[in-house]
Amino acid sequence: MEVALRVLAGLGAGLLVALLALPLAALFLKVRPETLLAKLSDPVVAAALRLSLETALLSTLIVCALGLPLAYLLATRSFPGKRVVEVLVELPMVLPPTVAGFALLLAFGRAGLLGRQLDALGLHLPFTTLGVIVAQVFMAAPFFISPAAAGFASVDRRYLDIASTLRASEPYSFFRVMLPLSLPSLMAGATMSCARALGEFGATITFAGNMSGRTQTMPLAVYMALESDLDGAVVLAIVLVSISVALLLSLRHLHAGFLWRSGDAPRRTS
Amino acid sequence: MLRAELHRKLGDFSLDLALEAAPGETLALMGESGSGKTATLRLLAGLLDPDRGRIALGEEIYFDAATGARVPANRRSIGYVPQDYALFPHLDVYENVAFGLRAQSLRGPDVRDRADAALTRFGLDSFARRRPSELSGGQQQRVALARALVMEPRLLLLDEPLSALDARTRGEVLGELGEVLGALTCITVYVTHSLREAEAIGNRILLLQGGRIPTHPSGDNPGSESSAPSSGPQPAPRS
């Protein structure tokens, strides 16, 4: 019975690993190295690659800059409506991306909730590169804020207490104690957020459209290339997979590098 | 002069006590686990607020429930060494000691001079660039003490500073600590559950039981070495 269970569990695990690995293997087997290099210099591919990297990097920076204070507030303060804010922050993680894009249109489109005000300011978000960034920020923010808030909340209160008895103000404690001790969580959040922004599709195509060089990011270009240029689609997909793998590996490397921060300094008595 | 009257409900028991201590005096606050020793220190440090009462250090009123006065922990002239030292794990010994000086935005050379002097005083020069995790328990205790004293506090609070050490080290460090504390001009409140430590370190011993300082019918605290009242202002001469 026990042996049968082990075999069954092994088969199940193997099946899932195969399901995860086979599509990736198929991608890499589909294209020849010379095609890969040739397609990378294709103007449409290059434009999608550049746009994706630029917008994902920028939206990650925005998410970090705006998410840091919000994560700190959520981790350290109690305030009316905190639960609502927490749900709002986490919602994009479970929201269908096309619904998110549609909601963004209803809020920031020309006929949207803030359309007239944005128009008056000369800001046009739908179907622009700025719109791509807004869609990415919307979808990627929870991937940073949730781990960042958890990281802040897990900093041992004793260190903050000691900092205050050493005359440290709250901002000083934040930068010299809270931030460095939460760095692994913050880096993990930023990496995941960047990966999410890079892979964003549904909200982007709904809110920002699909214009080469302006709003056509790599996932959109893959989708378009599937109909006309299979080699191009494969090359773009391989680039996306490679970046995602690199991000994941850097995340693991960072985690290992910061292991010493995860708990109390081990104490030796002698 | 420290004058404190502290009342605070803590879970299922309440802390109600009065303390007085003069500059240069070391008050040993002795009691079993859960008697309210650490809470007393946290109340004095401003990490916890009394429900009622008053805390005055010299002319400064740190807390007064009657007037609503409350000075936050980072504005009190208090040095605090918690039981497990709580050294910042991401900073080396030098940066741990210099932390409070930098927090006050002192000039670079002043920070260096004072931090270097503190490291030398506690024999930590050769460990300056080590992380807390690379130090022995005795060395960590000295770093925690140096970090608190470099700020020149008027009130030093020590929470069972020897409890994290093994028995042999505890004996060695007790002598060193007695010498350091004996030379201080600030008020020291030393919390311990060990009578041996209390006798070796304190000028006066107060016994804390269930959040209170019980008094004999004579009015004396049973833990007090001198015949001074439990919260009496007069310090016994240092032995």
pLDDT tens track for A102-144: 999 999 998 889 988 998 998 889 999 999 999 999 999 999 9
**Per-residue confidence band for B226, with pLDDT thresholds at 50, 70 and 90:** very low
Q: With 80 as the cut, is the pLDDT of residue B217 above it?
A: no
Shortest Cα–Cα distance, A267 to chain B (Å): 6
Listed in sequence order, the residues at least 6 apart from A185 whose beta carbon sits closer than 8 Å to its beta carbon are A147, A148, A150, A151, A152, A154
Query: A97 near A139, Cβ under 8 Å?
Result: yes
Across the interface, do B86 and A260 touch by the CB < 8 Å criterion? no
Separation of alpha carbons A77 and B46, rounded Å: 19
For CA atoms B38, B44, B47, B49, give the dihedral sign. Answer: positive
Using the 8-state DSSP alphabet, how is residue B209 labeled?
A: B
Residue A179 tokens read as 């931030």
Give mean pLDDT, residues B28-36.
Answer: 89
Does domain A55-215 fall into CATH 3.40.50.300? no
Across the interface, do B86 and A161 touch by the CB < 8 Å criterion? yes
The pLDDT, as a whole number, for residue B220 is: 54
- What does the pLDDT look like over B112-135, one tens digit per residue? 999 999 999 999 999 999 999 999
The pLDDT, as a whole number, for residue A199 is: 93
Percentage of the residues of chain B whose pLDDT score is greater than 90? 65
Query: Helix or strand or coil: residue B191?
Result: strand
- What does the pLDDT look like over A184-232, one tens digit per residue? 999 999 999 999 999 999 999 999 999 988 999 999 999 998 888 888 8
- Closest CA in chain A for residue B81: A162
Across the interface, do A161 and B73 touch by the CB < 8 Å criterion? yes
Listed by start position, the domains of chain A span 55-215
Q: Does B45 touch chain A (CB under 8 A)?
A: yes
Across the interface, do B87 and A260 touch by the CB < 8 Å criterion? no
Percentage of the residues of chain A whose pLDDT score is greater than 90? 66
- Closest CA in chain B for residue A179: B90
- Chain B residues in contact with A166 by the CB 8 A cut-off are 74, 99-100, 103, 147-148, 151
Q: With 60 as the cut, is the pLDDT of residue B111 above it?
A: yes
The pLDDT, as a whole number, for residue A145 is: 97
Find the helix packing angle between B93-103 and B137-149, rounded to 10°: 20
- Closest CA in chain A for residue B104: A167
Amino acid at A137: V
Kindly write down the DSSP assignment for every residue of A86-98, as one continuous string: HHHHHHHHHS-HH
- Closest CA in chain B for residue A265: B133
Find the helix packing angle between A179-199 and A230-257, rounded to 10°: 170
Percentage of the residues of chain B whose pLDDT score is greater than 70? 90
* Cross-sheet strand order for the sheet of B155-159: B78-81, B155-159, B187-192, B26-31, B204-208
Across the interface, do B80 and A165 touch by the CB < 8 Å criterion? yes
- Choose the most confident range, by mean pLDDT, from A228-242, A251-265, B82-96, B212-226: B82-96
Question: If DSSP states are collapsed to H, E and C, what string results for A11-60?
Answer: HHHHHHHHHHHHHHHHHHHHCCHHHHHHHHCCHHHHHHHHHHHHHHHHHH
* pTM score, whole prediction: 0.83
Residue B118 tokens read as 């503190």
What residues does A236 pair with on adjacent strands?
A: none
The pLDDT, as a whole number, for residue A108 is: 94
Q: Does A261 touch chain B (CB under 8 A)?
A: yes
**Per-residue confidence band for B231, with pLDDT thresholds at 50, 70 and 90:** very low
Please name which of A89, A48, A100, A91 lies closest in space to residue A204, comparing C-alpha atoms: A100
The pLDDT, as a whole number, for residue A134 is: 96
Separation of alpha carbons B80 and B215, rounded Å: 28
Please name which of B152, B206, B161 lies closest in space to residue B26, comparing C-alpha atoms: B206
Separation of alpha carbons B141 and B96, rounded Å: 12
Separation of alpha carbons A88 and A81, rounded Å: 11
